[in-house]
Structure 1
Amino acid sequence: MIQLYDAHIQECIVHWVGNKTNDEGMRLSKEPLTMNEVTMKALSNYFYKPFVAKEYFYSFYHQTNIDLNTMYSYIKEIFTDNNSFCEVSSDIARFLYEQSIHPRIRGGELYVAYINNCLIDGKYTEAIGLFKSESKDTFLMLHQNDVGFEISSESGVSINKVDKGCLIFNIEKENGYIVAVVDNTNKGAEAKYWTDDFLHVCPRKDSFNQTQNMLSLCKSFVSQLPGENGKVEKATYMNRSVEALKEESVNINTFAERVFETPKLVSEFKQ
């Protein structure tokens, strides 16, 4: 579980990353943002809010050697040497640009933040946040004059929802760190570029993910049962699976027998 009540943004830099296929290019910053207390609070809310209830985590991975994962190497470099933050953030932006080749990927600001005092699973640690804003809202601006008000509009980023983001916690480095991911914009094939192509992460092997995987397996198996297994009976199987997964440890044989009972279904499920 993530708790960010005491988290503090040590520094944050912003780059603009376009669509490579459309030849939109990039605009890279040389210096971090300068923020007052009000701006810092607004930016913190923008960054932290999507991750407060996160329980499903990922890790960087590579088929042969984790050090060959590009983003893992960049993140490890920043955690090892904070002075490399600005330089490596530009490398991260360039790498994101190389992955932004689907024609439906929109350009936007990429925020790279170094965050202190993050609490995850009862441990305080630092994190690196990557956030991309692709959607823009229109804001009405009212200005008072001698006779009333004047109104104008400006386009900007709403702090109520991150389009894409991730928090990489400086824990379990040897296993690819602990990574929390959000993507609130793309749901089709183009969505994979953030999680798969850019970050190149896979679900973390922890109890929460294993429980979710087992529930998904049960749901898939039950949905394929023939018609004589009615809706009530199928619902009973799913309810039993939820109860069985509440145990401190789960044995696949005992689990199958407890949920499905009949030898035929138990054998089919185990297969």
Structure 2
Amino acid sequence: MVDGMHFEGLADEYATARPPYPPELWRRLHDLGLLRPGTTALDLGAGSGQATGPLLSAGLRVTAIEPGRRLARLLRESYPTATVQVARAEDVELPASSFDLVVAATAIHWMDLPIVLPRVRAALTDDGRLAVWRNVFGDSEAPPTPFRARVAEIVRARRAPPRPGPPAEDFAATTGALTESGLFAVVDASTYRWSLDLDADGVGRLFRTFSDWSAAEVAQAVDAVGELGGTVTEHYSSWLLVLAPTPDESGS
């Protein structure tokens, strides 16, 4: 069930079901000087463009890498000024020292980091940055809600094996995975908390995009919304990591 191409089969729905990243996250990137008009950005695992669009709106020149052909078509239709390549991050050919910013938005957990990180480091300019962020669906630090209790019940009853490795939402685990090679060091980290009201249709469309949720489990979540009054408030969070390449072995 856990499949990185799960989203390809839901391309049209994915574009509208997933909520955008919080404005505070984009303001932080701006304040760090990473959204300068005219600079070059590489969006890895671009999906339907939740990061590509705001990067273009900020005036950056964006190359979007997306392995799914249907999602790539949506990217081209929605953002014709972006350069879109259908490829995996592990396979795409990246010119050396050609990007000021490389981003992976709710996508890094699908990538083979021992392959991708050296490629990214080589593709970045001398003062370039790697920015990795994701939305976390279900903020563990938010007040518990009846709907989250129902979601937890559904997950506890799951018979399918869990996703291998540390949770994709785990900030500390992701930080460790991105820095253990010594190619990158964290220069900035931040977290943002936000909420979203969803009706049964919204929960169904959103939860169907989760690669580890079965159709039966999604139906249970949709039924729970109806039983809880027709609308639920979901507390989410987003974290952002900005990393700089470490000096190479020659000390340059």
| TM-score tier after normalising by the smaller chain length | under 0.3
Instruction: Please give the TM-score of this superposition, normalised by the length of structure 1.
Output: 0.22
Instruction: Please give the TM-score of this superposition, normalised by the length of structure 2.
Output: 0.23
